[in-house]
């Protein structure tokens, strides 16, 4: 093999840099194109409703009244319920697999968790309709109403379908993402951190709590954001169990609707131009909501990353 | 054997390419889509191959697929392609002239027709019916419902199964003291269009409050995606009631209601009663065939039914395509109809076929009718 001359090597480097730069630029371009396209497509709805589209709460294709507030509400609340369930569970899985599990358990369990991520969402949806929903209706919801019925979240009639079922389905769908990424983050924590804690006489639990988790928290937060992203954009599984009713109700038993779900439902048969435009504008709202959440998350990650790493002060 | 054959195919293809190149050089302008089948030994006479592109409604897709396959045997030189992208997409496609014909479950509205660059014809192909299915323990097919009761249930005014309005219609059934849970389609669909058309027709309150369309703002109920979603949700919800296509209900043996028609009879939804509804309303059929057949007159007419249409331009721009399209349409409403029943679509009654014939005969290329 001949070594390339320094000159040609430099040429290769700059070519490589140029190519990767183009790839990155393409990504930015793609986002711009999507944004421009969404804005153009929603012109008609914007001139009709203005900002009232965001604050309005009626969605009536027949009479041409479109407001997306219940959709935004449904999107955010269903995702939050999912996070509420998924984050503690996923962290538990990640900590066990990274820190505590014996070797022969680690591989098969990690494999099974990651397998969950490969199941198509329509399968989750079907499972939701035929297994989860009856379970929620006959067991979970009556139980919640009996024990916590004094809270506004657990009141009213229940159908099984609704916000709660959607939150649970989403939680199951994002657990693999959050737990797999968190596990990698925890595995990347240097052993010196653990050894130092143990040398100070800490127990296993104290080591995890005070050395491992604080070290990996920005990475874990990143994992949660990834999960949130998936939950917000999920369409098929949600639409099959959420009940598809655009309304705002404090009760998680009630039916709801999300932006992604209404677009998938109504787009193909939207005859009217205003209807079509309103659906595109709903997409724009989703785009903005996702953007805002990502910015928020980014700020959070920066804050956390800046804080001193390692042992927290008690 | 095989390799010999494939060698032969290669030779044939090469010969074909040569012929095309020569033809292209001679005429100066290659004509895409029309290739001369001169290399084919079996086909002595030169027939132009034509491709017809269609898109639209998903409801008749199984039937149209069958038609396309059968028509291939009748006219091998015609390739027909139909994509089930939804009626909305079909109307968009025909308006923008990206397809040669479109399928739609609902007739185009006047303002939509006004946007098209030419006059669009509606050719009805088959009918579909919408049935009301429910989940009531011990009650099988045959619950009797009137238009008033149905609209009150879907308006949320009748809330319990043992409501007098229902039990007085069904004195021999023991209806439980259970909440009614309404289930409707969450996705835009022709089925919803027919059902809300019916409700608007029989209930003034529904017409004013909700109206008709492929998606509406439902006063009550759970939204579920697709026929399978509605059926699944009803099945999972004791006391549930919803509406699905007749074909879907029959295939999945769902219980369904008998509905009181205009003549005052409780009619079972079947292909025959659906065809009867079309026949009953044929007298009032306008010339452009855009008509609703819900709540049709006639003793035997099932009241919740509707046509599905093929949409074509009256003035065709391409003579070859236009000729083949007209032939296909003619075949479809005559020979094609006999495949309808097997696939659970209601065939057109004879008087409507006659009306459709008159329409097809008007399709022309530069003023010259294409039907021969």
Chain B residues near residue A265 by CB distance under 8 angstroms: 186-188, 215, 223, 225
pTM: 0.83
By residue count, chain B amounts to: 372
Which residues, 6+ apart, have CB-to-CB distance to B131 below 8 Å?
B243, B244, B245, B246, B249, B254, B256, B257, B269, B304
Which residues, 6+ apart, have CB-to-CB distance to B157 below 8 Å?
none
Contact residues, A window 21-60, toward B, CB-based 8 Å cutoff: 58-60
Predicted confidence band of residue A195 (pLDDT cuts 50, 70, 90): very high
A250: in domain: yes
Which residues, 6+ apart, have CB-to-CB distance to B212 below 8 Å?
A62, B193, B196, B197, B199, B200
Segments of chain B assigned E as strands? 50-56, 78-84, 101-104, 120-134, 144-145, 181-185, 222-224, 240-245, 258-260, 266-267, 305-313, 346-347, 364-365, 368-369
Q: Which residue of A has its CA nearest to B229?
A: A240
Predicted confidence band of residue A5 (pLDDT cuts 50, 70, 90): low
Q: Which residue of B has its CA nearest to A264?
A: B187
Interchain CB distance below 8 Å, B217 and A61: yes
CB A128 within 8 A of CB A191: no
Structure tokens of B96?
A: 């923008």
Dump the DSSP string for B336-364.
GGGGTGGGT-EEPPHHHHHHHHHHHHT-E
How many other CB atoms are found less than 10 A from the CB of residue A118?
A: 7
User: What pLDDT score was predicted for residue A9?
Assistant: 64
Chain A residues near residue B91 by CB distance under 8 angstroms: 271
User: What pLDDT score was predicted for residue B206?
Assistant: 96
Q: Name the minimum distance, in Å, from the CA of B216 to any CA of chain A.
A: 6
Interchain CB distance below 8 Å, B211 and A270: no
Supply the CATH number for residue A208's domain: 1.10.3720.10
Q: How far is B277 from B281, CA to CA, in rounded Å?
A: 6
Domains defined along chain B, listed by start: 50-128+307-369 (3.40.190.10), 129-282 (3.40.190.10)
Interchain CB distance below 8 Å, B222 and A159: yes
A1: in domain: no
CB B258 within 8 A of CB B266: yes
Interchain CB distance below 8 Å, B186 and A269: no
Q: Which residue of A has its CA nearest to B180?
A: A159
CB nearest to A255's CB, from B89, B189, B222: B222
What's the total number of domains in chain A? Answer: 1
Contact residues, A window 169-228, toward B, CB-based 8 Å cutoff: none
Is the CB of A239 inside 8 Å of chain B's CB atoms?
yes
Q: Which residue of A has its CA nearest to B233?
A: A129
The string over A264-285, giving b where at least 16 C-beta atoms fall within 10 Å of a residue's C-beta and e elsewhere, is bbbbbbbbbebbbbbbbbbbbb
A215: in domain: yes
Q: Which residue of A has its CA nearest to B220?
A: A245
Cα distances from A182 to residues A98, A228, A310, B43, in angstroms, run 9, 14, 17, 67
Interchain CB distance below 8 Å, A61 and B224: no
Average pLDDT, chain A: 89
Q: Name the minimum distance, in Å, from the CA of A80 to any CA of chain B.
A: 22
Q: ipTM of the predicted structure?
A: 0.83
- Chain B residues whose C-beta is within 8 A of a chain A C-beta are 85-89, 91, 106, 109, 112, 179, 181, 186-190, 210-218, 221-225, 229, 232-233, 236-237
A136: in domain: yes
Is the CB of A255 inside 8 Å of chain B's CB atoms?
yes
User: What pLDDT score was predicted for residue A155?
Assistant: 87
Chain B residues near residue A58 by CB distance under 8 angstroms: 217
The DSSP code for A208 is I
CB B175 within 8 A of CB B161: yes
CB nearest to A61's CB, from B187, B216, B236: B216
Interchain CB distance below 8 Å, A269 and B190: yes
A64: in domain: yes
Q: Name the minimum distance, in Å, from the CA of B163 to any CA of chain A.
A: 19
Chain A residues near residue B217 by CB distance under 8 angstroms: 58-63
User: What pLDDT score was predicted for residue B372?
Assistant: 80
Alpha carbon A181 to chain centroid distance? 13
Structure tokens of B313?
A: 């331009």
Burial group, residue A83, by CB count within 10 angstroms (0-12, 13-18, 19+): buried
Size of interface A-B (CB pairs under 8 A): 97
Chain A residues near residue B87 by CB distance under 8 angstroms: 269, 271
Extract the residue ranges of chain B whose pLDDT is less than 70: 1-46
A314: in domain: no
By residue count, chain A amounts to: 314
Domain containing A212 equals 35-306
- Give percent of chain A above pLDDT 90: 68
CB nearest to B211's CB, from A63, A243, A266: A63
CB nearest to B213's CB, from A61, A130, A267: A61
Chain B residues near residue A239 by CB distance under 8 angstroms: 186, 225
Interchain CB distance below 8 Å, A270 and B236: no
The string over B111-122, giving b where at least 16 C-beta atoms fall within 10 Å of a residue's C-beta and e elsewhere, is ebbeebeeebbb
Q: Which residue of A has its CA nearest to B84?
A: A268
Q: How far is A97 from A183, CA to CA, in rounded Å?
A: 7
CB nearest to A239's CB, from B88, B89, B225: B225
Interchain CB distance below 8 Å, B236 and A63: no
User: Scanning the structure block, which residue is given the tokens 């040669």?
Assistant: B100
CB B369 within 8 A of CB B361: yes
CB nearest to A266's CB, from B106, B187, B210: B187
CB nearest to A268's CB, from B106, B188, B218: B188
Cα distances from A307 to residues A193, A220, B160, B190, B301, in angstroms, run 17, 15, 60, 58, 76
A26: in domain: no
Q: How far is A214 from A312, CA to CA, in rounded Å?
A: 7
For an interface test with A, which of B188, B190, B196 has the most A Cβ atoms less than 10 Å from its Cβ? B188
Interchain CB distance below 8 Å, B188 and A265: yes
């Amino acid at each position: 093999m001949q070594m390339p001359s320094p000159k040609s090597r430099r040429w290769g480097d700059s070519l490589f840099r140029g190519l990767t730069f183009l790839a990155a630029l393409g990504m930015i371009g793609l986002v711009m194109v999507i944004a421009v396209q969404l804005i153009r497509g929603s012109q008609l709805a914007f001139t009709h409703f203005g900002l009232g589209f965001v604050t309005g709460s009626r969605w009536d294709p027949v009479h041409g009244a479109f407001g997306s507030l219940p959709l935004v509400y449904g999107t955010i609340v269903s995702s939050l319920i999912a996070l509420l369930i998924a984050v503690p569970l996923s962290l538990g899985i990640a900590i066990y697999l990274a820190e505590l599990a014996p070797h022969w358990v680690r591989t098969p369990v990690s494999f099974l968790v990651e397998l969950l991520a490969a199941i198509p969402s329509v399968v989750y949806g079907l499972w939701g309709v035929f297994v989860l929903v009856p379970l929620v209706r006959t067991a979970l919801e009556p139980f919640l109403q009996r024990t916590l019925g004094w809270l506004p979240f657990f009141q009213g009639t229940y159908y099984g379908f609704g916000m709660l079922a959607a939150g649970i389905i989403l939680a199951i769908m994002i657990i693999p993402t959050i737990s797999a990424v968190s596990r990698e983050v925890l595995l990347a924590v240097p052993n010196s951190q653990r050894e130092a804690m143990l040398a100070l006489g800490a127990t296993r639990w104290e080591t995890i709590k005070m050395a491992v988790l604080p070290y990996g928290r920005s990475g874990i937060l990143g994992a949660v954001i990834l999960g949130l992203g998936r939950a917000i954009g999920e369409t098929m599984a949600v639409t099959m169990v959420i009940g598809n009713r655009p309304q705002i109700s404090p009760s998680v038993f009630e039916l709801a609707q999300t932006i992604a779900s209404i677009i998938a439902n109504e787009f193909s048969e939207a005859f009217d131009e205003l209807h079509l435009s309103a659906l595109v504008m709903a997409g724009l709202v989703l785009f903005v909501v996702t953007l805002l959440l990502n910015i928020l998350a980014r700020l959070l990650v920066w804050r956390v990353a800046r804080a001193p790493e390692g042992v927290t002060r008690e | 054997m095989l390799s010999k054959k494939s060698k032969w195919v290669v030779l044939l293809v090469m010969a074909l390419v040569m012929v095309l190149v020569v033809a292209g050089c001679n005429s100066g302008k290659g004509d895409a889509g029309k290739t001369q089948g001169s290399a084919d030994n079996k086909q002595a006479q030169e027939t132009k191959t034509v491709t017809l592109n269609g898109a639209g409604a998903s409801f008749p897709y199984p039937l149209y697929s069958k038609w396309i396959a059968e028509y291939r045997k009748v006219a091998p030189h015609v390739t027909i392609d139909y994509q089930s992208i939804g009626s909305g997409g079909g109307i968009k496609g025909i308006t923008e002239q990206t397809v040669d014909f479109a399928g739609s479950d609902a007739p185009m509205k006047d303002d939509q027709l006004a946007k098209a660059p030419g006059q669009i014809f509606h050719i009805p192909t088959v009918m579909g019916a919408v049935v009301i299915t429910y989940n009531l323990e011990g009650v099988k097919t045959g619950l009797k419902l009137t238009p008033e009761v149905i609209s009150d249930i879907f308006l949320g005014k009748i809330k319990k199964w043992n409501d007098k309005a229902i039990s007085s219609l069904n004195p021999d059934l023991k209806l439980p003291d259970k909440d009614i849970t309404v289930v409707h389609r969450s996705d835009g669909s022709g089925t919803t269009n027919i059902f809300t058309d019916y409700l608007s027709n029989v209930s003034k309150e529904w017409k004013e409050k909700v109206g008709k369309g492929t998606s509406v703002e439902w006063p009550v109920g759970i939204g579920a995606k697709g026929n399978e979603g509605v059926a699944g949700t009803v099945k999972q919800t004791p006391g549930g009631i919803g509406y699905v296509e007749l074909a879907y209900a029959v295939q999945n043996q769902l219980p369904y209601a008998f509905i009181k028609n205009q003549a005052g009879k409780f009619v079972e939804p079947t292909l025959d009663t659906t065809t009867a509804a079309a026949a009953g309303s044929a007298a009032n059929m306008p010339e452009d065939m855009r008509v609703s057949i819900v709540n049709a007159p006639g003793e035997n007419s099932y009241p919740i039914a509707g046509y599905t249409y093929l949409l074509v331009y009256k003035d065709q721009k391409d003579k070859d395509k236009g000729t083949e399209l007209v032939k296909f349409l003619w075949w479809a409403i005559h020979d094609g109809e006999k495949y309808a029943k097997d696939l659970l679509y209601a065939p057109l009654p004879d008087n409507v076929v006659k009306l459709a014939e008159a329409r097809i005969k008007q399709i022309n290329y530069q003023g010259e009718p294409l039907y021969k």
